């Protein structure tokens, strides 16, 4: 897949905060900073992997970018234009170009709808083509994802998990989008099926010139599919680099700990596992300064009081850390 220098999508100081519920004894509920000052650029044709522990804000970031949930502040720029400034007509057109593949193929498909109804629904919403043209386009799309036209009138419960995810991919790509958020798109699948779906997504990317934001907690999968990787911790990006650079020479202590947990498929080799002490801080009450300082073996007083900003430490390699010896 040829990656272009053109920036397709960019976030600037993007935030999404969730307020707790008010009550008689809780008039000032805590705020969860699910996405906190995220600055990312995604180039046309690339796959940007997004990794981190469960609950760190990966899925919330993906949905905030797509405006499926409203942002608290910041900007999402699509081809240099702030999508918040779009009127209804332009936002409607933009929706065709930005799609999502959901995590759970069992709950993301309406069990009362046939495969044809599910995949053709976006075409009907946008009033694209005649009924005959839509059917032809759906059959072609199903063929692209490895499903025969004989499945058109079947229901989701008649398919395996891998087949259901193929239907979900077909539905997401039927409008020929440019940017797709893959939200844990293979995590609910068996290992034997996972590779098939990943290879399918790669083929679709090359055939249709797609750009992916690939969200996952599986570091091995992200290494396989991504061009660059961003690491999130408690709502913030702590490191971002090309995959070879990040997996070969990680800089942030959190990234090093994550990568040390990847199993090596060789009984004769052992990896020096980095065990982080302490529990993950509560998102309701994150630590001051660097959010990772409560678990970091290198934390200093500066880490406890000042928030580190992303800075360049190599070619297309950025890290948010106060350490001077990196």
Domain of 176, CATH number, reads 3.40.50.300
Entry pTM: 0.91
Where is the domain boundary, 226, 260, 282? Answer: 226
Examine the domain organization and report whether 49 and 173 are in the same domain. Answer: yes
Report the distance separating Cα 119 and Cα 52, nearest Å: 31
239 in any annotated domain: no
Q: Do 165 and 203 have their domain in common?
A: yes
Per-residue pLDDT tens for 50-91? 999 888 999 999 999 999 999 999 999 999 999 999 999 999
Overall number of domains in the chain: 2
HSE-CB for 254 with a 13 A CA cutoff: 25
Percent of the chain, pLDDT > 70?
Answer: 94
Tens-digit pLDDT profile for residues 163-210: 999 999 999 999 999 999 999 988 878 888 888 889 999 999 999 999
Do 148 and 36 share a structural domain?
Answer: yes
In a domain, 124, yes or no: yes
Q: Considering Cα of 86, then 91, then 95, then 97, what sign does the dihedral take?
A: negative
Residues 6+ apart with CB under 8 A from 311: 318, 319, 320
Alpha-carbon 260 to chain mean position: 22
Domain annotation covers residue 138: yes
The answer on 280 and 206 residing in a single domain is no
Domain boundary at 192, 226, 260, which? 226
Its domain, for residue 109, covers 7-20+31-226
With a pLDDT cut of 90, the percent of the chain lying above it is 73
Residue 237 lies in a domain: no
Residues 165 and 114 grouped into a single domain: yes
Q: How far is the CA of 175 from the CAs of 63, 107, 178, 196, 215, in angstroms?
A: 19, 22, 9, 23, 22
Q: Are residues 193 and 71 in the same domain?
A: yes
């Amino acid at each position: 897949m040829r990656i272009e220098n053109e920036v397709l999508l960019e976030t600037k100081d993007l935030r999404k905060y969730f307020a707790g519920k008010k009550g008689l004894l809780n008039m000032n509920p805590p705020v969860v900073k699910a996405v906190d000052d995220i600055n990312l650029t995604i180039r046309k044709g690339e796959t940007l992997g997004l990794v981190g522990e469960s609950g760190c804000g990966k899925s919330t970031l993906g949905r905030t970018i797509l405006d499926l949930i409203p942002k608290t502040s910041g900007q999402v720029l699509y081809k240099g234009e702030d999508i918040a400034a779009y009127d209804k007509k332009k936002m409607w057109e933009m929706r065709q170009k930005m799609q999502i593949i959901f995590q759970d193929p069992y709950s993301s498909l309406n069990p009362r709808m046939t495969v044809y109804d599910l995949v053709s629904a976006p075409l009907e919403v946008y009033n694209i083509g005649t009924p005959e043209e839509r059917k032809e386009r759906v059959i072609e799309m199903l063929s692209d994802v490895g499903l025969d036209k004989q499945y058109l009138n079947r229901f989701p419960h008649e398919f395996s998990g891998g087949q259901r995810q193929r239907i979900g991919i077909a539905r997401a790509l039927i409008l020929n989008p440019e940017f797709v958020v893959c939200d844990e798109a293979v995590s609910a699948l068996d290992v034997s099926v996972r590779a098939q779906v990943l290879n399918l997504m790669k083929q679709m990317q090359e055939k249709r010139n797609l750009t992916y934001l690939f969200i996952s907690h599986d570091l091995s999968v992200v290494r396989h599919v991504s061009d660059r990787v961003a690491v999130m911790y408690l709502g913030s990006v702590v490191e971002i680099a090309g995959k070879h650079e990040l997996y070969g020479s990680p800089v942030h202590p959190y990234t090093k700990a994550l990568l040390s947990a990847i199993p090596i498929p060789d009984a004769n080799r052992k990896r020096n596992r980095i065990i982080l002490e302490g529990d993950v801080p509560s998102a309701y009450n994150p630590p001051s300064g660097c959010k990772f300082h409560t678990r970091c073996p290198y934390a200093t007083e500066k880490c406890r009081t000042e928030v580190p900003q992303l800075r360049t430490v190599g070619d297309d390699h950025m890290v948010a850390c106060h350490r001077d010896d990196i």
